[in-house]
A and B are shown apart, each in its own frame.
Chain A
Amino acid sequence: MNAEEIIRSIEAEQIKTDLPTIYVGDTIRVGVRIQEGGKERIQPYEGTVIAMRNGGINRSITVRKIFQGVGVERVFLVHAPKVASIAVLRRGKARRAKLYYLRDRVGKATRLKQRFDRPIN
């Protein structure tokens, strides 16, 4: 076993295989595990994927939403145990890999066209 294989085998234990295919521009719902006084519950977080980084175990997505008039962005390590579930709600049409331009837009201008050629799940 060479070094690369050993590292992959360590990562393999924690890589999730049941993740849906996510594209930049999709609207998704992430179930986030949170601890509250010894009790654990799952809090949904819904928004648009504006950036994605593919790095094996380090794979992450940036999800943006507008909450009470304020833009909120959260970066999730998709393979982290804190991310309980990911569900794709809507496929969006994006012509670039990073949708940072959405940060400068408000209201109707932040909408993305829906695309129907990619199945949800």
Chain B
Amino acid sequence: MAVGILGKKLGMTQVFDEAGNAIPVTVVQAGPCVVTQIKTSDTDGYAAVQLGFDEVTEKKLNKPELGHLARSGSAPLRHLKEYRVDAADGFELGQTVTAETFSQGQLVDVTGKSMGRGFAGYQKRHNFRRGPMAHGSKNHRLPGSTGAGTTPGRVYPGKRMAGQMGNARVTIRKLEVVRVDGDRNILLIKGAIPGKPGGLLSIAPAQWVNA
């Protein structure tokens, strides 16, 4: 458990490494973030650090939000996110977190909201195969069978069907930080990242899950 950073996806490009290989990278505006609240187990029952990102004008926020941010003395911020930590030592209210908390070569988990595809059918959502388009077939994009008949008399839960696709929270794990630009708070992260340019991202050091 470590404190990450909030950021905005800017777009993709490629860079060349020392060996001359082209590496696809996503450019991310990471921070600067402000520590807006520190939670400890005494006061809140658990330890966490709340970060704010993306400065906006005062009229974009309501009074309770402004009051909360006034405690840390920060400017009005659009986004707030909490990161659970073991102990919130070393953090103080109003402190800024910049892209330099990450180093080149580090592995990170990136969380964002995937592009929405709306109510998608079987082919698009689950890669079902299509029926024949000709020879009198009327089964073009239908699902086929959804299970047996009278026994069990119901469709099993988890049966893949049409429905909302995308516009969901997605985490891509263990992406490499290719470059850190401390002056402009820019991270170059290898590979693709969920969402469109302009989307809000949370970038945290990679969490290792034992298999």
Contact = CB atoms under 8 A, between A and B. Distances in A.
A33 B27 CA distance: 28
Interface residues of B, number: 15
A7 B27 contact: yes
Contact of A58 (B11, B14, B20, B198): B14
A14 B143 CA distance: 49
Contacts of A14: 15-16
B131 interface: no
- Main secondary structure, interface of B, reads strand
Contacts, number: 39
A10 B20 contact: no
Nearest to A81: B20
B178 to A, nearest CB: 10
B10 A80 contact: no
Interface string A71-84: 00000010111100
A3 B184 CA distance: 12
Interface of B: 10-11, 13-16, 20, 22, 27, 29, 184, 186, 188, 197-198
**Minimum-distance CB pairs A-B, first 8:** A3-B10, A82-B20, A81-B20, A7-B13, A7-B11, A7-B27, A81-B16, A3-B11
